[in-house]
Amino acid sequence: MSNSEIANALLQACQRRGIMLATAESCTGGMIIAALTDIAGSSTVVDRGFITYSNEAKTEMLGVSAVMLDAHGAVSRETAIEMAAGALARSHAGLTLAVTGIAGPGGGSAEKPVGLVWFGIAVRGRPAVAERQLFADKGRDFIRRETVRHALELGLRALGEDQLGVVAP
């Protein structure tokens, strides 16, 4: 499935549940919210997108702890969880998707290589969770597109649906 098909399935899943959706994006710079809002009628489900590329933006817009950022860095499980939880607290959404990672070509290290992305998912009434992915270093565009795809898929899974929008067994 294409990213637009997955985005459409996620919008439909949110619509069926009567919930809004928000994103908190760093390494994708708004590509997830763009994939969702490219679809006509998305305004019935999409609440807002937070583009928080800098640590200051993460702190100011989402309430991510500066102390935690200093301790763990922007690309970490802790940051992804705080981004997702912050987006949920600062929106009308019932589901938030957050991403923070290293898209390259530079900026990687042995501990945090290019292609490392942390995903945060928050559903109202549940604790926020995080997932780590290490995408192949096939260029910035590849990593960002795969990050969008994975975030949309995680949104469907968080709602208990597969990529086709069918309730999972």
3-158 architecture in CATH? Alpha-Beta Complex (3.90)
Q: What is the pLDDT of residue 162?
A: 63
Question: Is residue 7 scored above 80 in pLDDT?
Answer: yes
Listed by start position, the domains of the chain span: 3-158
Question: Is residue 163 scored above 80 in pLDDT?
Answer: no
Question: Is residue 169 scored above 60 in pLDDT?
Answer: no
Tokens 């305004």 label which residue?
43
The rounded mean pLDDT for the chain is 95
Q: What is the pLDDT of residue 161?
A: 83
